[in-house]
Amino acid sequence: MSQTSHGIGGLSYDAKKRPWPAEFNVFLALVILVAAFELIGRVFLGDSFLFNTRENVSGLFNEQRLQIIILQVSIVGIIAIGVTQVIICGGIDLSSGSIVGATAMIAMSFAQVATVNGNPNPKAMFIDYGWTDLPVIVPLLVAIGCGLIAGLINGFLIAYTRIPPFIATLGMMVTARGIAKWWSKGQPISFPTDSFAAIGKGLMPVVIFISLAILFQLILTYTKYGKHCYAIGSNEDAARMSGIKIANHKVLVYAIAGILAAIAAVVLSSKNLTAQAGMGVMYELDAIAMAVIGGVSLSGGRGSIIGTVIGSLIFGVIISGFTFLRLDAYYQEMVKGVIIVGAVVLDQWRQRRRAIGA
């Protein structure tokens, strides 16, 4: 006999029969996916996906591959954190990839060295003003300012003109990409200071991604802000009747998403030691995909940062697995599209099943 604990009012409630948290299913999918690649690798390539098979390197796991998996998703993952809270709140943000592009260009131009190999830096836009070798805080603040402004514009448009988030952020997506190209007339900007380059060095992107993920998981779970995100995404009318200031909250949500996109821009341009106008193209969709794969419901109200992090790992495993199986990059994109649609179909199916009380 299972132990029963009692609910309010004498009703019996079996805590053991609680449904699994949604994140558990996502994690299961990740495990299955890794196992599948491992199996296919062993059978067809005679190589292991997960474990170390080289004799000149010690260690149980193929650490190099694991690092690449997490490193390549950590920058889009930072964006996905912001996108997750936007989607939980019932919105969508298509502008994050372009915000990355524009912010990278603008921030990079404030992170230039004065001389390259003894010659004046040809890329330094502000060399005439003497704005070179600035302390790293300057490009950082410039970047956060850019993300904040873009996010605030998104937020105000959505909260006060009541246009759909899809349209507002689509406008920002096009505009921000234009700004990225206009800023240096299409030229890439390189030669950052050492202190700026340190931000994205080695495993720093992973550290930044995980720290931000933990921070926002805590914010969404334990603060008023988080609770209101779920409430608005779940039933906006109920939230309004309960006295939550919907407009203010939405502005804040999109502003934070903008800032996170800006942080991703800094990490990315620092890691690549250059900024280009085409940076971050399609990142918005990758970020949305990570969230959706991680169990964040596009209809709002459900999901978590933990889910998104696992979703980003699934994303990384797929890309890395395709490389491991020596499949062309074309296939990656095709499969990516299928996975995004599949995850949404799965979410719809889950909701319908829940609605009929199964």
Partner 1 sequence: MSDIVLKTENLTKHYGGVHALQEANFELRKGEHVAIMGDNGAGKSTFVRQITGVEQRTDGKIWFDGKEVNFSGPIEAREAGIETVFQNLALADDLDVPSNLFLGREKVLFNLGPFSILDRKAMRKATEAALVRTAVKIPNLSSTIRHMSGGQRQCVAIARTATFASKLIIMDEPTAALGVQETAQVENIIRTLKENGEPLILVSHNMRQVFDLVDRIVVFRRGRIVANLRKQDTDGNDIVAYITGAKTGQAELQAA
Residues near partner 1, by CB under 8 A: 7-13, 15, 18, 219, 222-225, 227-228, 230-231, 233-235, 237-239, 241-244, 249, 252, 301-302, 354
Question: Residue 311 CB, nearest distance to partner 1 (Å)?
Answer: 19
State how far the Cα of 63 lies from the Cα of 65, in Å rounded to an integer. Answer: 5
* Burial class for 160, CB neighbours closer than 10 Å (0-12, 13-18, 19+): exposed
DSSP 255-298: HHHHHHHHHHHHHHHHHHTEE-TTTTTTHHHHHHHHHHHTT--T
Nearest to partner 1 of 14, 47 (CB atom): 14
Give the type of residue at 80. A
Question: Residue 158 CB, nearest distance to partner 1 (Å)?
Answer: 17
CA distances from 105 to 56, 230, 244, 254, 335 (A): 42, 34, 37, 21, 31
Question: Residue 242 CB, nearest distance to partner 1 (Å)?
Answer: 3
Nearest to partner 1 of 9, 118 (CB atom): 9
Question: Residue 5 CB, nearest distance to partner 1 (Å)?
Answer: 9
Question: Residue 25 CB, nearest distance to partner 1 (Å)?
Answer: 16
Question: Residue 88 CB, nearest distance to partner 1 (Å)?
Answer: 9
Q: Contact, 315 vs 293, CB < 8 A?
A: yes
**CB within 8 A of 210, min separation 6: which ones?**
74, 309
